[in-house]
Amino acid sequence: MSAKLFEQLGIELWQAKRSNPSLKKRLLRYLRLLAMTFSSTSQTTPTVTLLLTFLVINIYGTLASAQPLEKYQPVTNERLLHPEPQNWLMYRGTYDSWGYSPLDQINRKNVRRLVPVWTFSTGVGEGHQSPPIVNNGVMFITTPQNQVLALNARTGDLLWRYKHELPEDLFQLHPTNRGVAVYGDKVYLATVDAHLLALNARSGEVVWDQTVENYLSGYYMTLAPLVARGKVMVGVSGGEFGIRGFVQAFDAETGKPEWKTYTVPGPGEPGNETWPGETWKNGAVPVWITGSYDPQLNLTYWGTGNAGPFMGGTRSGDNLYANSVIALDADTGALKAYHQYHWNDSWDWDEVSAPILLDVHRNGRDIKALVHPGRNGYLWLLERGADKIAFVHAEPFVKQNVFAKLDPETGRPTYNPERIPGIDKRAEFCPSLWGGKDWPPAAYNPTTGYLYIPANENLCGALKGKPATYTPGQLYIGLEITDIELLPQKEAKDHIGELQAWDMNAGKKIWTKTFKSHNWGPVLTTGGGLVFSGGTNDRYFRAFDAKTGKLLWQQRTNSGVTGVPSTYQVDGVQYIAVQSGWGVDAQRKQELLDKAFGTKTFVPQGGVLWIFALGK
Amino acid sequence: MQRAECEAENQAETLFCNQCSSFRCLSRRNLLKSVLGIGFALSFGEQAARAQTDPKKTRPQVGDLLVFALGDRAGQLITRQDVPSGGPPVTTYPKDPHSQIVRDGSRLNRVLLVRLAPEVLTEQTRSVAAEGIVGYSAVCTHTGCDVVGWENATQHLVCPCHTSTFDAKDRARVISGPAPKPLAALPLQIVDGKLTVAGPFSGRVGAEQK
């Protein structure tokens, strides 16, 4: 009889799940009470008690896992401007791209007790780079091949899974994705076949699907979209295919295109004169990392990639707005200001990382700054304003032998001519084409005042160009693949990877952690005085003391950690979340390093999401 | 047709049957049938459906000729002399000699032609080569990139995207890198002095979405 009662209760509970939350609570309480009564009396056999307990746990578990979606809290402009500490609502946590959370339950004193609480295999290979985005207990991650998974952030239960069907003839140079954006009750995904999708956050169903560009012409997307003031903004990849880069905004509700700003100006537009002849048409300049946003100025800041083909001699001129930061009005897309880090690139130094927005006190004054550790190996300090970006200071954070000097007023570099590769002209240069820092984002911690840079040192490279002919959808880089070389310096035997901490007020490097392996680790920093990062080929994910750089904790994972870490809190418990899944450029660079060193390094592939919390 | 059956029918030509799946594998006999228009739909399955919709997207067919896919000579017929001895490879598309349709409706139809000395080829590879000219799918089995790189010294095909390396001498087997399987081979023969497709791709071309 009692079992029947339970069964009935279970069914009622199940039905109540959707319809009546207060009834659900009451039933739950009743059910638990009943279970306790049964367990504490000797009237039932232990087996029955066990079964009943199991049933209760099961029903309760189902209910709990469904709960976060039921009460999914829509994301508003206000919430994006001031995300609650327990949530991680966008690529870098906040619009200023700090990669910082004030959560401090996990801190430098107790981080040694950090243990995995659950993991989740994505079943996908290649580069898992997306940050777990968390909105009040609901987590969204993406994988290569454009899957989106919604998970219960506390329990690890899968809530829904969306698999994007990709065309069979897709030329997929960068099999990765860097995450979703969330807004209202939707989740936004930019795909490798150049679509922008809005999914229902509660069900994973496609609400709208916009074709941003034609993948057959080499356009694709890997970045997490940026949402501001009701618009979803994306940039396009495809610099290797002779695309013409742009940033485009869509209405978040309907998907209607709102504005589109090319990164290569057309005829009649200022800057077009920096491109000879028709070169602007296939000038590349992709945007493949999420921009930052200054709500006071209502400006979005995007980093831009290099021009194509790769050899600068084929497109003499500055090639605006390649290798730059551009400031676009969030409402209109109008280009309000820019700063070009370096002109007429020949080194494949995309400067796609969006600048970090900081208040810096330097030379006796307060600067509303843009800070950018560049792929070109220089750490840039710029000042932002409504219609200008002014150069303040720059200095190398790794060995750099291309820039002879910088103009003290404008920051414009002068090049050492022997370091510029060209058609049939091989040149060696430092850092390598993967730069002092590639896409993995740096982080800023306001409690220490330090900027944390995942860097690569002691690694130079060489390139030699060849003439290129443009064909839609074909590589248009003007390089023989075998003419891309990595040249480890003798110091590389000691280390290549670095994690650097810089005091931006003092303009000084405070500490450096070194790793024998190259470093592809995005950085998270927290109010607990910690810096989290992986990125090395030995599969470790680590926590450092943000002040001193001391290694406090590490966990060996399934694969190399090139995922952007995030942190969140549910029911009073702080979690650290990161995907481990080596691939894409980290894998490619590893192959070239092995070739240079005569070694063979095995880094297993396959994505796993890791969730850590404090153990006993 | 299962691989074992396929091999039995085709005897030593195991390359031909290398990537047979249970539902799509062609024997010489079936090929003949298909040329004659018998059992076409049966043996070609999915490909037949495509063929009915768009011959430009149909995978190479027996009897197809080959044309330059890229460059100034795009669309022009390839002669044996156009394939340089010892590499590098030439990228081509198949062309139906009857309808004159070039099958350039899909990148997946691109074929790399490499000419090597017949004695450096493995027996398997030699059996599908025509006078040392070997045909391989130009699309990497990893993530679908065009395999455009060539290492002269080793006679390896190299994918620019993730450095997957394939041995042109030996059925494009994977030497290194993330590619899960060889590039599909396209059997070739010389008919009336012309380089001609002798059979379908030895397996599925391109990458599979996981």
Q: Does the pLDDT of residue B177 top 70, yes or no?
A: yes
Tens-digit pLDDT profile for residues A75-123: 999 999 999 999 999 999 999 999 999 999 999 999 999 999 999 999 9
For B204, name the nearest residue in chain A, comparing CA atoms only.
A168
- Please report, for residues A204, B114, B190, the alpha-carbon distance to residue B132 in angstroms, rounded to integers and kept in the order given: 53, 8, 11
* Mean pLDDT, rounded, for B63-72: 95
Residue B31, helix vs strand vs coil: helix
Q: Does B207 touch chain A (CB under 8 A)?
A: yes
Which chain B residues have a beta carbon less than 8 Å from that of A172?
Answer: 143-145, 161, 207
Which chain A residues have a beta carbon less than 8 Å from that of B162?
Answer: 584, 587-588, 591
Q: Does the pLDDT of residue A205 top 80, yes or no?
A: yes
* Mean pLDDT, rounded, for A500-520: 98
- Please report, for residues A345, A405, A411, the alpha-carbon distance to residue A414 in angstroms, rounded to integers and kept in the order given: 12, 5, 10
* Mean pLDDT, rounded, for A513-520: 98
Q: Does B145 touch chain A (CB under 8 A)?
A: yes
Min Cα distance B147 → chain A (Å) is 10
Question: What values do phi and psi take at A508, rounded to 5?
Answer: -130, 145
Q: pLDDT tier at A12 (50, 70, 90 boundaries)?
A: very low
How far is residue A260's CA from residue A266's CA, in Å, rounded to a whole number?
Answer: 13
Q: Does B175 touch chain A (CB under 8 A)?
A: no
Q: Does B163 touch chain A (CB under 8 A)?
A: yes
Q: Does B143 touch chain A (CB under 8 A)?
A: yes
Q: Does B73 touch chain A (CB under 8 A)?
A: no
* Mean pLDDT, rounded, for A178-194: 98
Mutate to test the interface with A, among B58, B137, B143 (most CBs of A within 10 A): B143
CA A95 to chain centre: 13
Burial class (CB in 10 A: 0-12, 13-18, 19+), A581: buried
Tens-digit pLDDT profile for residues A122-133: 999 999 999 999
Instruction: Give me chain B's average pLDDT, please.
Output: 82
A188, amino acid identity: Y
Tens-digit pLDDT profile for residues B80-102: 999 999 999 999 999 999 999 99
Nearest by CB to A169, from B144, B160, B162: name it: B144
Q: Return the minimum-mean-pLDDT range out of A26-30, A448-452, A580-584, B59-63.
A: A26-30
CA-nearest of A142, A136, A123 to A202 is: A136
Determine, for residues A170 and B144 on separate chains, whether the beta-carbon distance falls below 8 Å.
yes
Q: pLDDT tier at B49 (50, 70, 90 boundaries)?
A: low
Tens-digit pLDDT profile for residues A253-264: 999 999 999 999
Mutate to test the interface with B, among A163, A216, A481, A485 (most CBs of B within 10 A): A481
Q: Does the pLDDT of residue B174 top 90, yes or no?
A: yes
Q: Does the pLDDT of residue A583 top 60, yes or no?
A: yes
CA A388 to chain centre: 27
Which ranges in A248-329 belong to alpha helices (H)? Answer: none
Please count the CA atoms within 13 angstroms of the CA of A14 that sit on its side-chain side: 10
Q: Does B25 touch chain A (CB under 8 A)?
A: no
Mutate to test the interface with B, among A173, A176, A222, A310 (most CBs of B within 10 A): A173
Which chain A residues have a beta carbon less than 8 Å from that of B163?
Answer: 481, 588, 591-592
* Mean pLDDT, rounded, for B3-23: 39
Nearest by CB to B158, from A123, A124, A481: name it: A481
Q: What is the pLDDT of residue B198?
A: 98
Q: Does the pLDDT of residue A518 top 50, yes or no?
A: yes
Instruction: Give me chain A's average pLDDT, please.
Output: 92
> How many contacts (CB atoms, under 8 Å) link A and B?
68
The strand pair at A608-614 and B65-68 is best described as: unpaired
Q: Does the pLDDT of residue B176 top 70, yes or no?
A: yes
How far is residue A60's CA from residue A157's CA, in Å, rounded to a whole number?
Answer: 13
Which chain A residues have a beta carbon less than 8 Å from that of B150?
Answer: 482
Q: pLDDT tier at A51 (50, 70, 90 boundaries)?
A: low
> Does residue A178 contact residue A143 with C-beta atoms inside 8 Å?
no
A616, amino acid identity: K
Q: Does the pLDDT of residue A288 top 70, yes or no?
A: yes
Q: Return the minimum-mean-pLDDT range out of A47-61, A519-533, B168-182.
A: A47-61
How far is residue A424's CA from residue A429's CA, in Å, rounded to a whole number?
Answer: 16
Tens-digit pLDDT profile for residues A302-332: 999 999 999 999 999 999 999 999 999 999 9
Q: What is the pLDDT of residue B126?
A: 97
- Sheet holding A551-556: strands in order across? A100-101, A524-526, A530-533, A540-545, A551-556
B199, amino acid identity: G
Min Cα distance A170 → chain B (Å) is 6
Min Cα distance A234 → chain B (Å) is 23
Residues of A with a catalytic annotation lie at: 348
Identify the H or E element spanning B48.
helix B46-53
Neighbours of A583 (CB within 10 A): 28
Which chain A residues have a beta carbon less than 8 Å from that of B148?
Answer: 475, 481
CB burial readout A363-382, b (16+ within 10 A) else e: eeeebebbbbbbbbbbbbbb
Q: Does the pLDDT of residue B175 top 60, yes or no?
A: yes
* Mean pLDDT, rounded, for B141-155: 95
* Mean pLDDT, rounded, for A505-529: 98
pTM higher than the cut 0.90: no
* Mean pLDDT, rounded, for A236-260: 98
Q: What angle do CA B93, A191, A432 make, to 5 degrees?
A: 80
Q: Does the pLDDT of residue B157 top 50, yes or no?
A: yes
Structure tokens at A153: 């952030």
- Running DSSP on this structure, what letter comes out for residue A445? E
Q: What is the pLDDT of residue A22?
A: 45
Contacts of A555 (CB under 8 A, 6+ apart): A114, A116, A540, A541, A542, A610, A612
Nearest by CB to A475, from B144, B146, B209: name it: B146
Q: A interface toward B at CB cutoff 8 Å?
A: 123-126, 145, 165-166, 168-173, 175, 469, 471, 473-475, 480-482, 583-584, 587-588, 591-592, 605
- Running DSSP on this structure, what letter comes out for residue A27? H
Q: Does B66 touch chain A (CB under 8 A)?
A: no
Which chain A residues have a beta carbon less than 8 Å from that of B158?
Answer: 481-482
How far is residue A545's CA from residue A427's CA, in Å, rounded to a whole number?
Answer: 40
pLDDT-above-70 percentage for chain B: 75
Q: Does the pLDDT of residue A17 top 90, yes or no?
A: no
How far is residue A226's CA from residue A248's CA, in Å, rounded to a whole number?
Answer: 10
Q: What is the maximum alpha-carbon separation in chain A?
A: 91
Which chain B residues have a beta carbon less than 8 Å from that of A126?
Answer: 143, 178
Q: What is the pLDDT of residue B4?
A: 44
Q: Does B42 touch chain A (CB under 8 A)?
A: no
For B162, name the nearest residue in chain A, comparing CA atoms only.
A588
Q: What is the pLDDT of residue B46?
A: 52
> Does residue A59 contact residue A13 with C-beta atoms inside 8 Å?
yes
Q: Does the pLDDT of residue A503 top 50, yes or no?
A: yes
Q: What is the pLDDT of residue B53?
A: 80
Min Cα distance A345 → chain B (Å) is 21
Mutate to test the interface with A, among B148, B163, B166 (most CBs of A within 10 A): B163
Which chain B residues have a beta carbon less than 8 Å from that of A173?
Answer: 143, 145, 161
Which chain A residues have a beta carbon less than 8 Å from that of B107?
Answer: 169, 171, 473
Q: Does the pLDDT of residue B50 top 60, yes or no?
A: no
Q: pLDDT tier at A68 (50, 70, 90 boundaries)?
A: confident
Q: What is the pLDDT of residue B52?
A: 54
For A167, name the nearest residue in chain B, comparing CA atoms only.
B209
Q: Does B198 touch chain A (CB under 8 A)?
A: no
What DSSP line would sit under A451-508, residue for residue?
EEEEEE-SEEEEEEE------TTS----EEEEEEEEEE-GGGGT-SEEEEEEETTTTE
Q: Does the pLDDT of residue A547 top 60, yes or no?
A: yes
